[in-house]
Structure 1
Amino acid sequence: MWPFNRRVRASSGRLTRFLVILAVLLALCAAGFFFLPAGRALFEDTRDKLGKAQAITPVEIKASTQNADHPPTNTSDGIRNNYWGTTPGSTITYTFRAPFRLVTTIITNGAGVAPKEYNAQARALEFTLEVTTPSGEKHTKKLTLDDKPGPQTFTTAFSDVKTVTLTLNTPSGLTQGRQLALAEVEFFKRA
């Protein structure tokens, strides 16, 4: 019968098959090249979620404003009702001994975790988090906080972090005789 007993030459279809395989390989290489940063970010995020987070303490804390009664070092002392008192737009910079992968940041806003302590001073409801790598490369992320007492957790996911700078924005409850209060900032690295 005609369709089943066709004679085929020995090299028939080889060139077509080779061109199809070559096109598929080129498409895979192009996709890998264009999606490599997204793939790397997905890989790092997966490692963050599968690994444990470990607390890391800064070796140096500097702030744009100082208050003798409420210094910036109060934000890293482990006491949640001891705060740094400052003004809107102030910055605080945390420097670490060695670069690390910053997985999570926990911010305890206000003057303390009890509602009465929390409402005693003003709070910043928006922070600009800026991380700097040893090479000087900077990455920023906006953190928006709820106006409520207690710790608030943020997934940050930055690699090679050497310093972290927080800028306090959008004050709430700022009236005469009150200052912005930041009780505690905790950083966690991938273990």
Structure 2
Amino acid sequence: MTRLRARAHLPRPTDQPSAASDEFALDLVAGAAARLPDDDVVVRWFGGRRRASPGDELRLDGRRLTHRSPAARVRAGLVVVGDPPLAPAVTLVDHLAAVTSHRAARTLLAEVPRLAGRGDDPAGVLSGGERRLLGWARAVLLEPTVVVLDRAGSGLDDDALRWAHGQVARWRAGGCVSLVRVGRAEELAWADGDV
């Protein structure tokens, strides 16, 4: 059974007061959801893009990820959905084939609103919401045990938002832990477990 334990001490610059806490802790089991503070530092910490402070702990199924690289965290099952880095000249299917086969990438793209039939388009032509959908598709293909949704509904139209809502429901039903940094009201259901 999936279990995520996280405790972070996030020092704040003295010239930037924040409503977010300097420390947070989570202890979640399979299928659970939690709302993250609206803070870039927290998301970077989960993604492994911020150095851990003394006393920090991030464990997934007993495996310590605290000082592990972003790639090691993804291999362990922790995936962040936000604005993915893209190579503008690389096709959508090739972006996804980096984590799966071309066939699986094309099959999934056929189901994603606004990306269906566009697998051979270069990523550089995507709008902000379409870029975010490509990030969602990548996360689906990675089959996470923990997904961090970093304002992951921002920029999505109604069809794409319905697809994303269904994906969160599928993840949760499969035991995936969902951590949500809310960017729009529709994302509150993902954090509250109302999917």
- TM-score range for the pair, normalised by the shorter chain length: under 0.3
Structure 1 or 2: more helix by fraction = 2
Structure 1 or 2: more strand by fraction = 1
What TM-score, normalized to structure 1?
0.26
Q: Larger Cα Rg: Structure 1 or Structure 2?
A: 1
